[in-house]
Amino acid sequence: MRRLGANGMREYRKRIVVMRKSDKEIELMAQAGAITGAALQATLDALRPGVTTAEVDKIAEQVIRDAGAVPSFKGFRGYPASTCIEINDVVVHGIPSEDVVVEEGDIVGVDVGAYFEGFHGDTAATLAIGDVSDEARDLISVTEASLRAGIDAAQAGNRLKAIPMAIQECVEAAGFSVVRQLLGHGIGRQMHEPPQVPNYYSPGEFPDYELQLRPGIVLAIEPMVNVGGVAVTVDSDGWTTRTADGSLSAHFEHTIAVTKDGPRILTARD
């Protein structure tokens, strides 16, 4: 989710309502999440030098449709594909193409969503293709660790700010940067619902920071982490978002439910 501008933030403050899901709804979301996780795993298994991002996208869509679900991303605000595929300096929203070929030494992120029985799942992961630099491997490892830290902080009774604080601490301790222009989000019957889930903490910047996490709140937590600075740019296609300085970026995401027994990952992969 792109962060809101000043006008959008004012409107958001007026209408922020976080819908908690019932146990039955969370079980339906777990089914959507399982399909989403299976689609992501199928794409990660398919990533290799020489494959096009369009081929990878078709694999995800087939898994989703074979399960009786619908790709969440396809057609969303005009987006043309079932996945977002992020190579090297692409942070998010890379459009799959027959002209984009995965190469040895790339790092490739895949973001996928599935809609099933009225609910969405949303998940992402970044993979090293063959022999990559130590810096690239560290970036992937730290980004995945920051997601785990954010999930661990999603405990009932905590304020939402515990999640971005945990993510930011993990990332910056390793010398990397947390993207600020793009955020995680609530999820359910809509792919993007309140609250916003930043990956950094800046007191007073987001009203969502002070939200108390309660059982039934479902979040898509998704740290986006750069080797270089935090700034990003958007290509002329209106979607592909890159690091402004050309540095590598990695992205991991899970849909999770806050429960009285701790956070539950709904998009886990086998």
pLDDT averaged over 10-residue windows placed end to end, the chain, 270 residues: 53 68 98 98 98 98 98 97 98 98 98 98 98 98 98 98 98 98 98 98 96 98 98 98 98 98 95
Amino acid 12: pLDDT: 47
Structure tokens at 174: 């390793």
Q: Which CATH class is domain 6-264?
A: alpha beta
Integer Cα distance of 40 and 209 in angstroms: 30
Q: Tokens 């998940």: give the residue.
A: 123
Amino acid 17: pLDDT: 85
Where is 195: in which H helix or E strand?
A: strand 193-197
Structure tokens at 19: 């819908």
**Residue 265: strand pairing partners:** 256
- Give the residue extent of every domain in the chain: 6-264
Cα distance from N-terminal residue to C-terminal residue, the chain: 27
Integer Cα distance of 82 and 73 in angstroms: 5
Integer Cα distance of 205 and 197 in angstroms: 12
Integer Cα distance of 239 and 235 in angstroms: 7
Omega before 195 within 30 of 0, i.e. cis: yes
**77 secondary structure, DSSP code:** G
